[in-house]
Amino acid sequence: MFFPALVLCYYALPVRWRRAFLLCGSVAFYMLSNPAYAVMLLWVVVASYFAVRHLGSAERSRGTLWLWLLAVLGPMLFFKLKEPIINLWLPEWAQWRLPGLNWAIPLGLSCYTLQALGYVIDVYKRRIEPDRSWLNHALFVCFLPTITSGPIQRAPLMMPQFRAGVATFDYPLAVQGAKRMVWGMFLKIVVADRLGIYINSVLQHSAQYNSLTVLIALTLLALQIYTDFAGYSFIAIGAGNLLGYRLAENFHRPLFAVGLKDLWTRWHISLSSWLRDYVYIPLGGSRCSKLRSTFNTIIAFLVSGMWHGILPGYLCWGLCHGVVVSLERFLPLQRLKAHPLTHALGSLVTVMLMGVILGFFRDNFGEALEIYGTLFGGAKSLQWIIVDPVHTTAMLWMIGLTLVVVLARDVYDEWCVARLTRWTRGRRVLRWTFYASLVWMILLFGVLDSSQFIYMRF
């Protein structure tokens, strides 16, 4: 109820008060999870504000840039390093605690830090003029739709919108936003959480299953993370649209990617493009020797892994991606797209590969090793998760049906959008019924006591 009430109040206010109201709403929403986390948010806002003010002036230097980057990165580095360093190396009595502070990563810290960092670098590189308004700056870092898990937005897209403000209600944009939110909820509640039931049952006890079952669960894990995070992204972008802002997309039909390199241009685009622009290209990108370019790729993916967490699983995950993407340069993968059958096969293998590497994403590295032990350790007795055939069949039907809806929608967006849009134009009831049917499916097949979004823990 928080968001609808906020939207109504937002548009009821005079234009000049809207940004301030939105900032207050964003901070209040953020503090709902844990008021103490607002300290980190305030730190990042203040540090990045003074950073862009200083780096926007004439007397800037590379040294001061690094100092400001460290200042903005401080809370994130602290929380990411805390787990491996403080908890593993210090005795228990030395593992001090601040009252009221949950020692998990504060909600959205990794996302808004990267967002602020990108702005600081853009100002230093003179890609954008610094905005002197503290209100616009704070709103950019704390923007309600993206504060919890992104998508990581760029200052050149957002700052002009904050500067201009939202003077009138944009009906087509709001309708588009509402549609995105419904689709996002469907992806999360019906598809991702339903898949999660099966996947967790298998992967938490992977030793009891055979290689094939674990491979299927890992492939579905890729689909689960896609639908969970894409679902979240659709909701966030839709919420932004309802407030009158246009946000950058985060997923672009990754199920049709052939190869991991192609996949990373379609999956978590806001992070992969951030790493490309602020890590990979500054390192030299691909305009250097093949060896150096391979090194750059691996470093960029390792940073991606570290962004998720400085733990062995995430580092292995990043390393695997770096190695596979580097090796893919020697394969003519894009030729597979010439024929629908080879394209489909290539996409299937890509999703499977993504899923297999995602095995490292488990919270516990030992669990990940057990998963790979079963996956590559040869067949044992074939066991499905639930012995009761009715439960199993019913669940597989639900998963199958919902995945067909996701795939149909992605096929429509990828290949048929022009043709079908022409056909559905004027057939308003048909379009409405599609979105209403998503709500009915949420009620009928959704996991309604669903867990939080997977990416919120990063």
Partner 1 sequence: MRRFILLLLAMALLIVVGDQVIGRIVERVYHNTSLGEVGRLNRIADSVHTDILVMGASRALHHYVPTIITDTTGLTCYNCGLEGESVLTHYALLRNVTQRYMPRLILYDVAYYFDIEGGTHTRRAGKIKRMSSLQCRDSILADIDRWERLRTLSRIYPYNSVLFESLLARHGSGYDVPDADNGYVPLHGHFDDSHFVWNNEIINGDTDPVKLRYLESLIARYHDRLVVFSSPRYGATEATDTLYDPARQLCQRYGVPFVMARCDTAFTHHLELWDDDGHLNDDGARLYTRKYVIPAVKQFVER
**In the window 176-235, what residues touch partner 1 (CB under 8 A)?**
178
Sign of CA dihedral 188, 191, 196, 197: positive
Q: How far is the CB of 443 from partner 1 (least distance, A)?
A: 4
Q: Which is nearer to partner 1, 117 or 398 (CB)?
A: 398
- Quick one: which of 58, 164, 338, 387 contacts partner 1 (CB under 8 A)? 387
- Residue 426 gets the label, from left (phi > 0), alpha (psi -120 to 50) or beta, of left
- Residue 384 gets the label, from left (phi > 0), alpha (psi -120 to 50) or beta, of beta
Q: How far is the CB of 345 from partner 1 (least distance, A)?
A: 29
Q: Does 339 bind partner 1 (CB under 8 A)?
A: no
Q: Does 21 bind partner 1 (CB under 8 A)?
A: no
C-alpha to C-alpha distance for 115 and 108, rounded to whole angstroms: 11
Q: Does 17 bind partner 1 (CB under 8 A)?
A: no
How many CB atoms sit inside 10 A of residue 182's CB?
A: 19
Rg of the chain taking only CA atoms, in angstroms: 23
Write the interaction track for partner 1 spanning residues 435-454; mark x where CB under 8 A is met and - where it is not.
Answer: xxx-xx--xxxxxx------
DSSP string, 55-69: HTSSS--HHHHHHHH
C-alpha to C-alpha distance for 129 and 109, rounded to whole angstroms: 25
Q: Does 98 bind partner 1 (CB under 8 A)?
A: no
Residue with tokens 């003519």: 332
Q: How far is the CB of 392 from partner 1 (least distance, A)?
A: 10
Question: Can the peptide bond before residue 156 be classed as cis, meaning omega within 30 degrees of 0?
Answer: no
Q: Does 390 bind partner 1 (CB under 8 A)?
A: yes
Q: Which is nearer to partner 1, 170 or 367 (CB)?
A: 170
C-alpha to C-alpha distance for 135 and 140, rounded to whole angstroms: 9
Q: Which is nearer to partner 1, 18 or 253 (CB)?
A: 18
Q: Which is nearer to partner 1, 174 or 306 (CB)?
A: 174
Instruction: Pick the stretch among 54-62, 131-139, 259-267, 382-390 that binds partner 1 (CB under 8 A).
Output: 382-390
Find out whether 154 and 122 touch, Cβ atoms under 8 Å. yes
Q: How far is the CB of 417 from partner 1 (least distance, A)?
A: 22
Q: Which is nearer to partner 1, 201 or 211 (CB)?
A: 201
Q: Does 423 bind partner 1 (CB under 8 A)?
A: no
C-alpha to C-alpha distance for 293 and 296, rounded to whole angstroms: 5
Burial of 423 (0-12, 13-18, 19+ CB in 10 A): exposed
Q: Does 421 bind partner 1 (CB under 8 A)?
A: no
- Quick one: which of 3, 9, 11, 303 contacts partner 1 (CB under 8 A)? 11
How many CB atoms sit inside 10 A of residue 61's CB?
A: 10
| Total of residues contacting partner 1 (CB under 8 A) | 29
List of residues contacting partner 1 (CB under 8 A): 11, 169, 171, 174-175, 178, 387-391, 393-395, 397-398, 432-433, 435-437, 439-440, 443-448
